[in-house]
């Protein structure tokens, strides 16, 4: 899963994601009914947090998608494999490292980060992702802060 991310081609590949179809009014961007497709790229949000919060990942993915964002999320729920994948599946330490690295590439692609941290819970992998996003200057929003603003008395300590 590794690749030379900090290469000279990086900008070229990011441009594919960042600028698709924007401003192109040509006929290739018309649907059969004459409506335009393409146009300005929606914002990209990456979800970070412990995979034990499978249901919250699904809820926030749905919410942000319905708000018009492109949502990047985890693809393997190590702490919720029985619910997410229909079976209990383990991973090796090497695979865990590769998945963590892959998620950081998703942070590279994202415009902002949304951290799923019920009760303020942040594990080691999530902390590493937050530090990475901060180093890139990505804006970070936390579920616990959003939830506290809506329901100040409803936060529970999750351990």
Backbone angles phi, psi at 154, to 5 degrees: -95, -5
Contact 80, 51 (CB under 8 A): yes
Write down the pLDDT at residue 64. Answer: 97
Q: Which residue ranges does the chain devote to CATH 3.40.50.450?
A: 42-150
Write down the pLDDT at residue 79. Answer: 73
Q: How far apart are CA 97 and CA 128, in angstroms?
A: 12
Write down the pLDDT at residue 146. Answer: 84
Write down the pLDDT at residue 156. Answer: 47
Of 5, 3, 1, residue with least CA distance to 132: 5
Integer angstrom CA distances of residue 84 from 53, 77, 98, 108:
11, 6, 19, 25
CATH fold for domain 42-150: Rossmann fold (3.40.50)
pLDDT tens digits for the chain (159 residues)?
444 444 444 555 555 454 455 455 555 566 666 666 677 899 999 999 998 899 999 999 999 999 999 999 998 887 776 666 655 667 788 988 999 999 999 999 999 999 999 999 999 999 999 999 999 999 999 999 887 765 555 444 444
Write down the pLDDT at residue 3. Answer: 42
Write down the pLDDT at residue 123. Answer: 94
Relative to beta strand 112-116, strand 70-72 is unpaired
DSSP annotation string for 3-49? --TTSTTHHHHHHHHHTTTTT--SGGGB-TTS-B---SPPPEEEEEE
Q: How far apart are CA 133 and CA 127, in angstroms?
A: 10
Backbone angles phi, psi at 116, to 5 degrees: -90, 105
């Amino acid at each position: 899963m590794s690749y030379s991310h900090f290469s000279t081609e990086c900008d070229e590949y990011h441009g594919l994601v960042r600028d698709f179809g924007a401003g192109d009014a040509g006929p290739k961007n018309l649907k059969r009914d004459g409506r335009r497709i393409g146009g300005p790229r929606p914002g990209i949000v990456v979800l970070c947090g412990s995979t034990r919060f499978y249901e919250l990942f699904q809820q926030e993915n749905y919410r942000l998608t319905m708000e018009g964002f492109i949502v990047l999320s985890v693809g393997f729920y190590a702490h919720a494999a029985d619910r997410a994948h229909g079976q209990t599946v383990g991973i090796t330490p090497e695979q865990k490292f590769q998945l963590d690295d892959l998620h950081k590439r998703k942070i590279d692609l994202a415009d902002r980060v949304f951290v799923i941290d019920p009760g303020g819970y942040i594990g080691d992998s999530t902390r590493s992702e937050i530090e990475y996003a901060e180093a890139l200057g990505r804006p970070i929003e936390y579920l616990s802060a959003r939830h506290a603003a809506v329901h100040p008395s409803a936060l529970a300590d999750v351990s």
